[in-house]
Amino acid sequence: MSLAPRVVLVHRRTEFDDVLARHGTRGQAAFFLSTRGRDLAAVQERHSQQQRAIAAVSAAIPADWRRGSVERADLPRFLFAPEDIVVIVGQDGLVANAAKYLDGQPVIGINADRARNPGVLVQHCPEAAGKLLDLAAAGKLASHVEARTMVTAVADDTQRLIALNEIYIGQSSHQTARYTVRTSDGAQRQASSGILVGTGTGATGWCRSAWLGWSGTASWRCPGRWLRHCPGSYARHGRRPRPASISSKACLPELLWK
Task: Based on the fold, state whether residues 137 and 188 are members of the same structural domain.
Answer: no
Task: Based on the fold, state whether residues 56 and 141 are members of the same structural domain.
Answer: yes
Task: Based on the fold, state whether residues 20 and 56 are members of the same structural domain.
Answer: yes
More confident residue, 79 or 115: 79
Task: Based on the fold, state whether residues 102 and 180 are members of the same structural domain.
Answer: no
pLDDT digits (tens, 9 = 90+) for 15-57: 999 999 999 999 999 999 999 999 999 999 999 999 999 999 9
| Owning domain of residue 141 | 6-148+248-257
> Which residue, 198, 223, 240, sits at the end of a domain?
198
Task: Based on the fold, state whether residues 53 and 132 are members of the same structural domain.
Answer: yes
User: Which of the residue ranges 47-56, 73-82, 242-251 would you say has the lowest mean pLDDT?
Assistant: 242-251
Number of domains within the chain = 2
Q: Identify the burial level of 104 via C-beta atoms within 10 angstroms of its C-beta, where 0-12 means exposed, 13-18 middle and 19 or more buried.
A: exposed
Task: Based on the fold, state whether residues 11 and 117 are members of the same structural domain.
Answer: yes
More confident residue, 38 or 153: 38
Task: Based on the fold, state whether residues 92 and 186 are members of the same structural domain.
Answer: no
Task: Based on the fold, state whether residues 176 and 87 are members of the same structural domain.
Answer: no
Distances (CA, A) of 177 to 8, 157, 231: 40, 19, 22
pLDDT digits (tens, 9 = 90+) for 99-108: 889 888 889 9
Task: Based on the fold, state whether residues 12 and 96 are members of the same structural domain.
Answer: yes
Task: Based on the fold, state whether residues 139 and 20 are members of the same structural domain.
Answer: yes
User: Which of the residue ranges 72-76, 154-158, 218-222 would you say has the lowest mean pLDDT?
Assistant: 218-222
Neighbours of 132 (CB within 10 A): 24
Per-residue 3-state assignment (H helix, E strand, C coil) for the chain: CCCCCEEEEEECCCHHHHHHHHHCCHHHHHHHHHCCCCCHHHHHHHHHHHHHHHHHHHHHCCCCCEEEEEEHHHHHHCCCCCCCEEEEEECHHHHHHHHCCCCCCCEEEEECCCCCCCCCCCCECHHHHHHHHHHHHCCCCCCCEECCCCEEEECCCCCEEEECCEEEECCCCCCCEEEEEEECCEEEEEEECCEEEECHHHHHHHHHHHHHHHHCCCCCCCCHHHHCCCCCHHHHHCCCCCCCCCCHHHHCCCCEEC
| Residue 125 in domain | yes
Going by pLDDT thresholds of 50, 70 and 90, the confidence category of residue 149 is confident
| Mean pLDDT of the chain, nearest integer | 77
Q: Given a cut of 50, is residue 184 above it in pLDDT?
A: yes
